[in-house]
Structure 1
Amino acid sequence: MITNNDLNKQLPNELNVIFKELKVLHHLRNAGITKALGFSSGYLFQLIFSLIFRNKNWFRTL
């Protein structure tokens, strides 16, 4: 289960570097993708994006 503590430690460091360099989260904000409560939309996007490289699906991750 995903905990709310230290969110950045749960994702691969390589993804954080790539997302910062390409300014993906900035582009998500400009596209109007936001959330009101819970995890940030940027964190959820990184999590779903990382599933592709781990050959897992959403249900196996939970």
Structure 2
Amino acid sequence: MTKEQVHEALCKAPDEDKMRLAIACQMNGIDVQDVETGLANVLTGVQKAIKPAIEYYRYLGGK
């Protein structure tokens, strides 16, 4: 998942959730773009980690 995809998903979130994220970032001195980048990196890592399991599943006839 890219940072841009994370940004698009966050933009679609309810306004109250966006405000909570904005306030949390401000209170902790973190740039929201850094949060987006970090989240994209985590999600990409998870995708890479489970890819072999998905391939094994498909190999074993999973749909």
Specify the TM-score bucket, using the shorter chain as the normaliser.
0.3 to 0.5
Q: TM-score, normalised by structure 1?
A: 0.46
- Of structures 1 and 2, the larger Rg is shown by 2
User: TM-score by structure 2 length?
Assistant: 0.45
